[in-house]
Amino acid sequence: MIIPSRLFEGDTIGVISPAGSPNRERLTIGIEWLKQLGFHVRLGAGSTKKYGYLAGSDDERLDDFHTMFADDSVRAIICSRGGYGCARFAERIDYELVRSHPKVFWGYSDITYLHTAIRQKTGLVTFHGPMLASDLGDPDAPLLSKQLFSQLFQPMSLRYDEHLSPLECISSGSSEGKLVGGNLSLLVSSLGTPFEIDTKGNLLLIEDIGEAPYRVDSMLNQLRLSGKLNQATGFVIGDFHQKNSDDPDSLTYQEVFQTYLGGLGKPAVSGFLIGHCAPNFSVPLGVDALLDADRKQLWIQPGVM
């Protein structure tokens, strides 16, 4: 794996919108927060454009992505928001450019597609964390979401246990592996493409929002049929905004998780505040991690050097 360099006060952070167009007011708030931390901010040329549900055309969004990676004065790239659109240009990314100019790359949700593609094509460690406009630009953004940005300033091991949120053991045991994954619907959409998620020997993180239990059931079944669940060493289950279906006959999320993950003989724990939630606990992807389901603890190695 390629571990990006840590950030220092005075560094320049690039902001891009590889999927949807951000709310400008919130983007401004997020930028001001970065400046208060001592960073300079460079906006991508198309970062505030709007083309339907996209932030500009595929060419414009891809150009911003390439420009920020090519510019060595830009030490980190933060996505403004998710939405939809990253997969539309994934096959046109210059992955050799990314490999030869490694730096912090940060986002989640639709950015999952880029996390997976970048890691599997280049080996670069990236960060699954709250975005500048949709999360950090919220005037009521939780302090923890902001504090975890400090993992970019120095190598920092992360530990998650029930001091942060209630956790439920779906399947007992402990295992190690590189932490991979992200948004469940994006992981499933990668199947059958050149960017198909590789779970072999890895701890799989899954999270999502706005998906009914039957939809989560369908997506986990597809990962099962494709062999991805059997190949993983364990499962870190993030926030699903678990308001179960209004249908009295519906299975619950926990029953769905138990169906697909409970009988694999691999540790699985649900309830992590990772993903579409507040606070949003940011984590590096591609680094070694250890999940102990019996003690309900997750340890993650540093994502910068």
Whether the ω angle into residue 279 lies within 30 degrees of 0, i.e. cis, is yes
- Find the catalytic residue in 109, 175, 190, 282: 109
Contact 29, 23 (CB under 8 A): no
Pick the catalytic residue from 66, 115, 128, 276.
276
Is 128 a catalytic site residue? no
Task: Give the type of residue at 198.
Answer: D
Give dist(CA 215, CA 21) in Å, integer. Answer: 26
Beta strands in the chain (DSSP E): 12-16, 40-43, 74-79, 104-107, 126-128, 158-160, 168-171, 174-183, 202-207, 234-237, 268-270, 283-285, 288-292, 297-300
Q: Which residue has the tokens 């494709």?
A: 226
Question: What are the residues whose beta carbons fall under 8 Å from the beta carbon of 103, sequence distance 6 or more?
Answer: 4, 5, 69, 74, 75, 76, 77
Q: Is 276 a catalytic residue?
A: yes
Look up 211 and say whether it is catalytic: no
Q: What crossing angle do the helices spanning 253-261 and 213-225 adopt, rounded to 10°?
A: 10
Catalytic residue among 115, 190, 207, 282: 207
Listed in sequence order, the residues at least 6 apart from 248 whose beta carbon sits closer than 8 Å to its beta carbon are none
Q: How many whole angstroms separate alpha carbon 298 and alpha carbon 269? A: 9
- Catalytic residue ranges: 109, 207, 276
